[in-house]
Amino acid sequence: MKRALPLDRLFFLAGPTGCGKTSLALKLAERCRGEIVNADAFQVYQGMNTLVAMPSAREKSQVPHHLFAIIPPDEDFDVAQYIERIHPVITNIIARDRLPIITGGSGLYIKALTHGLSPTPPADAELRAKCDTLPLEDLIKWLKIIDPEAADTINLKNRRYITRAVEITLLSGCPSSTLKKDWQMSPEPTFRGIVLLREREELYTRINQRTLEMFGRGVVEEVKQLAPCSCTAEKAIGLREIRQLIEGHGSIEETIAAIQQNTRRFSKRQATWFRREKGFQKICVETDEQADSLVGKVLAAFPDLLSIS
């Protein structure tokens, strides 16, 4: 069994998309002999730099970055693979007496680091193949029978979510919703980390502007050149909308508006997730507040981070 990570040697910087994690992580890493480790489920993919707001080459040159653009877009990637990948990275950073700064907005990835993986069974190829033969409506009916709570809470338009819930319930003999709830309610470990939050309207304004800038930096051409994508890579916000634009469906203005709306909805779900996580300290960013000021707040809350330098 893989040894647990030394949580007292890590620092977590989480928050919804567009809140300013990248700039704060850079400043914090410079002050605390830190190295930035990705905790974003889409920034692991290659060829999607603009679409997923990957740190720029200039930003990556300022401090070491890890686990960014490491997976071809046609490969599936999940939280178990992420944990497998991150262990040696963190071990190496700590061995060099530097601070791993785990940065991203994928709450499931971060929770797996702080709490361990959810105790769910691995995928079963035979059962999954059987599920794949069923119409979506029949799969939903099956889920409602064996785990009605899951059917009430997950996105019933997402076949992969439904299949996984059915699979977990049948293989474990326990409703997937119960396993998930038990994991979420597990005793809170002690770790160092913050959630960066902004007022909703300001966050939405930043998201809208970033989407416009994304198109100015050539995201349409990036998507045109993108290799075929796996099921997990396909979920990157904006990918489906831009492909529809390329195929001649809708205008660029409609595409931008759709991506802005979907990103805002995603950021709302992220903020809700992180507000529930009790192990983090919350830092609310004031309007026009710069990263230098935020670093001061972080170090005031965690003065021991300076002992790394």
pLDDT digits (tens, 9 = 90+) for 54-79: 999 999 999 999 999 999 999 989 88
- Distance, in Å, from the CA atom of 213 to the CA atom of 110, rounded to the nearest integer, reads 28
Q: Which amino acid is at 196?
A: L
Domain boundary among 184, 215, 231: 184
Look at the block and give the residue holding tokens 């300076």: 306
Can you give the pLDDT at residue 80? Answer: 86
Compute the average pLDDT of residues 303-309: 77
Same domain, 224 and 279: yes
Can you give the pLDDT at residue 1? Answer: 40
Structural domain count of the chain: 2
- Distance, in Å, from the CA atom of 277 to the CA atom of 232, rounded to the nearest integer, reads 24
Compute the average pLDDT of residues 127-132: 84
Does some domain include residue 244? yes
Does some domain include residue 2? no
Same domain, 174 and 265: no
- Distance, in Å, from the CA atom of 82 to the CA atom of 107, rounded to the nearest integer, reads 13
Can you give the pLDDT at residue 3? Answer: 56
Query: What is the pLDDT confidence band of residue 119, given thresholds at 50, 70 and 90?
Result: low
Same domain, 22 and 72: yes
pLDDT digits (tens, 9 = 90+) for 159-190: 888 888 888 888 777 787 777 766 555 566 78
Same domain, 51 and 166: no
pLDDT digits (tens, 9 = 90+) for 185-239: 556 678 999 999 999 999 999 999 999 999 999 999 999 999 889 988 999 999 9
DSSP state string for 78-95: -HHHHHHHHHHHHHHHHH
| Parent domain of 163 | 125-184
**Among the listed ranges 49-53, 83-87, 95-99, 148-152, which one has the minimum average pLDDT value?**
148-152
104: domain CATH number is 3.40.50.300
pLDDT digits (tens, 9 = 90+) for 6-59: 888 999 999 999 999 999 999 999 999 999 999 999 999 999 999 999 999 999
Compute the average pLDDT of residues 283-289: 90
Same domain, 179 and 195: no
Does some domain include residue 1? no
In angstroms, the first-to-last Cα distance of the chain is 33
Which own/partner pairs from 147-154 qualify as long-range (CB within 8 Å, at least 24 positions apart)? Answer: 147/175, 147/176, 147/177, 149/175, 149/177, 149/178, 150/175, 150/176, 150/177, 153/177
Same domain, 87 and 24: yes
- Distance, in Å, from the CA atom of 211 to the CA atom of 193, rounded to the nearest integer, reads 28
pLDDT at 309 over 50: no
CA angle 205, 211, 213 (to 5 degrees): 105
Does some domain include residue 294? yes
* Confidence (pTM): 0.82
Helix (H) or strand (E) holding 101: strand 99-104
Same domain, 231 and 302: yes
158: domain CATH number is 1.10.20.140
